[in-house]
Amino acid sequence: MEPLPHGEEKTARVRSMFDAIAPRYDLVNRLMTFGLDQSWRRTTVKALALPGDSLLLDLACGTGDLTRLAVRQGHRVIGADLSTGMLAANHTGAPLVQVECSQLPFPDASFDGLVCGYALRNFTDLAGALVETGRVLRPGGRVAILEVDAPTSPALRAGYRIWFERIVPMLGGALSDRQAYEYLPRSTAYLPAAPALRRLLRDAGYAAVGIRPLAGGLSQLIVATRSGTPTR
């Protein structure tokens, strides 16, 4: 099996992959999660616990699922993504910016909150990207990140592996791009374990870092509050 890419090769691969799958990204997401992703996204926006009319950054916004939910809660949102294909498929009406997530084009302390869905493992420089999120959030600002996880139950983990490593690539191949949906389950290898992820967030200027499983570990929700100056 081809090794996972790193550095500039990873950035280029991720951009190209999401450009390719953008037109049917929402459809495949609903099918491969049985629609549960929408409930998890609602939980993510709610977890920010910010007042209405807060200004949020939807980082790696994709087609805009989190943006739509946040706008319904009364928030103002700016979307940012690496993929031009994803931005073209984003019809939320929110302002959109193409970015490399470790080099955000926003002033310090610009946002009250930040949401991000299923993207940490796709960042080429995860530590740098988290530092940037801390930089653009005001002190006291909140971040809520939805990401994949692995169930702790042996039975559930076995079913999870069969579904996401075998069935999802077949589903993606039939409806979109098989190579992309073979890569996505493998990309979980980029994701740090919870203790290391907590350290990265603290180094990026966050406190009160909480990580909890959703649906028995099918996904995870990471919530933190912006505190002092990043150490990096």
Average pLDDT over residues 148-158: 85
pLDDT tens column, 73-97 = 999 999 999 999 999 999 999 999 9
C-alpha dihedral (214, 99, 5, 41), degrees to nearest 10: 10
Q: What is the pLDDT of residue 155?
A: 82
Class of domain 7-148+192-226: alpha beta
- Which tokens is 37 given? 């992703």
DSSP symbol at 33: T
pTM over 0.95: no
DSSP string, 61-130: -TT-HHHHHHHHTT-EEEEEES-HHHHHT--S-S-EEE--TTS--S-TT-EEEEEEES-GGG-SSHHHHH
Q: In the chain, where are the structural domains located?
A: 7-148+192-226
Give the residue-averaged pLDDT of 101-127: 97
Q: Is the pLDDT of residue 70 over 50?
A: yes
**Over the stretch 2-47, which tens digit does the pLDDT of each residue have?**
789 999 999 999 999 999 999 999 999 899 888 899 999 999 999 9
Number of H helices, E strands in the chain: 10, 7
Position 212 scores a pLDDT of 96
Specify the pLDDT at position 1.
67
Pairing of strands 111-117, 206-214: unpaired
229 has pLDDT over 60: no
Phi-psi region of 216 (alpha: psi -120 to 50; beta: other; left: phi over 0): left
Which residue reads 């990096």 in tokens? 232
Q: What is the pLDDT of residue 145?
A: 98
Which positions ≥6 away from 158 have C-beta within 8 Å?
none
The overall average pLDDT reported for the chain is 93
> Can you name the residues that pair with 98 across neighbouring β-strands?
81
The pLDDT of residue 92: 98
Residue 149: per-residue pLDDT: 92
Q: Categorize the per-residue pLDDT at 231 as very low, low, confident or very high, splitting at 50, 70 and 90.
A: very low
